[in-house]
Amino acid sequence: MTNLCRALLCAATAISLTAPAAVRNTGKGAFPSVDSTVQTLMRRYDLPAASIAVVRDGRVAYRAAYGEKDTARHTKARTRDRYRIASLSKPVTMTGILLLAAQGKLSLDDTVFGPDGILGLDYGPVPEGSGKERITVRHLLEHTSGWENVPDDPMFSNAGATQRQIIARMLAARPLAAPAGERYSYSNFGYLVLGRIIEKAAGMPYEKFIRRRILRPCGIRRMRIGEPHGSRPRRDEPRYCLLPEETGGTYYLDVRRMDAHGGWIASAGDMARFMMRIDRNTAVRDILPDSLAAQFYLGFEQWIHTGSLPGTAAVLMRIDGRLSFVLLADKRSHDANFWEDLSHGMAAAVVRDDRRQGKYGF
What is the mean pLDDT for each group of 10 consecutive residues in the chain (362 residues)? Answer: 34 36 58 96 97 96 95 93 97 98 98 98 98 98 97 91 97 98 98 98 98 98 87 83 75 87 98 97 95 97 96 97 97 97 98 84 46
pTM of the predicted model as reported, rounded to 2 decimal places: 0.92
336 CB-near residues (< 8 Å, 6+ apart): none
Residue 213 lies in a domain: no
**What are phi and psi for residue 86, nearest 5 degrees?**
50, -125
What range does the domain containing 337 cover?
3-86+241-360
CB atoms within 10 A of CB 341: 17
Asked, for residue 135, whether it belongs to a domain, the answer is yes
199: exposed, middle or buried (Cβ count in 10 Å: 0-12, 13-18, 19+): middle
In a domain, 229, yes or no: no
Same domain? For 126 and 80 the reply is: no
- Domain of 188, CATH number, reads 3.40.710.10
Report the pLDDT value the prediction gives residue 10, as an integer from 0 to 100.
31
Rounded to 10°, the helix 188-202/163-173 angle is 110
Largest CA distance in the chain: 67
pLDDT at position 348 is 98
Do 61 and 108 have their domain in common? Answer: no
Same domain, 182 and 110: yes
Total domain count for the chain?
A: 2
| Residue after which a domain boundary falls, among 175, 202, 229 | 202
In this prediction, residue 26 carries a pLDDT of 56
Domain assignment of residue 111, yes or no: yes
Backbone torsions φ then ψ of 341, nearest 5 degrees: -65, -40
Residues in CB range of 29: below 8 A, 6 or more apart:
61, 353, 357, 362
Output the pLDDT for position 113: 98
Residues 110 and 147 in one domain: yes
Cβ atoms of residues 76 and 69 within 8 Å: yes
User: How many angstroms separate the first and last alpha carbons of the chain?
Assistant: 31
For residues 140 and 79, membership in a common domain is answered with no
* Shared-domain flag, residues 275 and 326: yes
The answer as to whether 209 is a domain residue is no
pLDDT in tens, 230-281: 667 778 999 999 888 776 666 677 899 999 999 999 999 999 999 999 999 9
Same domain, 183 and 251: no
pLDDT on residue 198: 98
CB atoms within 10 A of CB 329: 30
Distance CA 29, CA 356 (A): 10
- Please tell me the distance from the alpha carbon of residue 37 to that of residue 345, in angstroms, as a whole number: 8
Kindly report the backbone phi and psi dihedral angles of residue 193, in degrees, each rounded to the nearest multiple of 5, phi listed first.
-65, -40
- Nearest-10 crossing angle of helices 346-360, 32-45: 160
Statement to judge: residues 79 and 103 lie in one domain:
no
Contacts 24+ apart (CB under 8 A), 243-249: 243/11, 243/12, 243/13, 243/14, 243/331, 243/332, 243/333, 243/334, 244/13, 244/14, 245/334, 246/11, 246/12, 246/310, 248/11, 248/310
Final residue before a domain boundary, out of 147, 180, 202: 202
